[in-house]
């Protein structure tokens, strides 16, 4: 329950499952604030082959920071390949800031590639989760790419802890 005038963050998770191409979802947010109910529209273009996206190809297209031994996995590097004929400048649009940090390249030359690094925050090292972050490019369409991030922690002798895992996803 929120007090009058207070605010909170609401996380809506849209799982692509077996969807293909363009998909539109319209979750409804119902409050006691009074009519009308709040509608949110999510429009996604789901690409069947992540290696055929334009204007960039992200590799790997899913980031997995799972840890099954005592050796800590706290960062992952991924490549952003620019398959267009213009220089692109990626920017962060949305991310779970309490779990990780993202280092994006300032620019990616036309036909070139650059590395980006996702680092777990110290507070997230013991957690298992399924989250994502979204970047935007400065191309004519302001293309956006959402990259899934998964972390499962199963180390012998430690009890599992979940933050945003399958049981804590909430509504879709």
CATH classification at residue 66: 2.60.40.10
Structural domain boundaries enclosing 142: 49-168
What integer pLDDT is reported at residue 51 of this predicted model?
A: 59
Compute the distance between CA of residue 98 and CA of residue 122 in angstroms, rounded to an integer.
Answer: 10
Over the stretch 22-74, which tens digit does the pLDDT of each residue have?
Answer: 888 878 777 777 667 777 888 777 766 665 678 999 999 899 999 988 888 89
Instruction: With respect to residue 12, please indicate whether it lies within any of the assigned structural domains.
Output: no
pTM above 0.75, yes or no: no
Cβ atoms 149, 163 nearer than 8 A: no
Instruction: With respect to residue 118, please indicate whether it lies within any of the assigned structural domains.
Output: yes
Compute the distance between CA of residue 172 and CA of residue 153 in angstroms, rounded to an integer.
Answer: 24
Over the stretch 83-123, which tens digit does the pLDDT of each residue have?
Answer: 999 999 999 998 888 899 999 999 999 999 999 999 999 99
What integer pLDDT is reported at residue 35 of this predicted model?
A: 67
Instruction: With respect to residue 138, please indicate whether it lies within any of the assigned structural domains.
Output: yes
Compute the distance between CA of residue 161 and CA of residue 153 in angstroms, rounded to an integer.
Answer: 8
What integer pLDDT is reported at residue 134 of this predicted model?
A: 93
Nearest of 140, 43, 146, 138 to residue 91 by alpha carbon: 138
Over the stretch 126-168, which tens digit does the pLDDT of each residue have?
Answer: 899 999 999 999 999 899 999 999 999 987 665 555 555 443 4
If one counts every other C-beta atom within 10 angstroms of the C-beta of residue 154, the result is 11
Instruction: With respect to residue 113, please indicate whether it lies within any of the assigned structural domains.
Output: yes
Compute the distance between CA of residue 170 and CA of residue 167 in angstroms, rounded to an integer.
Answer: 8
Cβ atoms 2, 33 nearer than 8 A: no
Instruction: With respect to residue 62, please indicate whether it lies within any of the assigned structural domains.
Output: yes
Instruction: With respect to residue 131, please indicate whether it lies within any of the assigned structural domains.
Output: yes
How many structural domains are present in the chain?
Answer: 1
Query: Integer distance in angstroms from the first to the last C-alpha of the chain?
Result: 21
What integer pLDDT is reported at residue 99 of this predicted model?
A: 92
Instruction: With respect to residue 155, please indicate whether it lies within any of the assigned structural domains.
Output: yes
């Amino acid at each position: 329950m929120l007090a009058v005038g207070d605010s909170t963050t609401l996380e809506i998770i849209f799982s692509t499952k077996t969807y293909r191409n363009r998909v539109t979802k319209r979750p409804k947010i119902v409050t006691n604030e009074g009519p009308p109910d709040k509608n949110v529209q999510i429009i996604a273009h789901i690409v069947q082959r992540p290696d055929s996206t334009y204007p960039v190809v992200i590799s790997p297209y899913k980031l997995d920071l799972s840890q099954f031994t005592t050796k800590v996995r706290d960062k992952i590097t991924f490549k952003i390949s620019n398959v267009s004929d213009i220089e692109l400048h990626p920017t962060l649009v949305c991310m779970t800031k309490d779990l990780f940090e993202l280092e994006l390249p300032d620019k990616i030359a036309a036909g070139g590639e650059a590395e980006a690094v996702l680092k777990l925050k110290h507070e997230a090292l013991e957690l298992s989760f399924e989250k994502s972050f979204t970047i935007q490019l400065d191309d004519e369409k302001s293309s956006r790419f959402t990259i899934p991030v998964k972390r499962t922690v199963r180390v012998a002798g430690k009890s599992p802890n979940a933050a945003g895992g399958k049981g804590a996803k909430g509504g879709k």
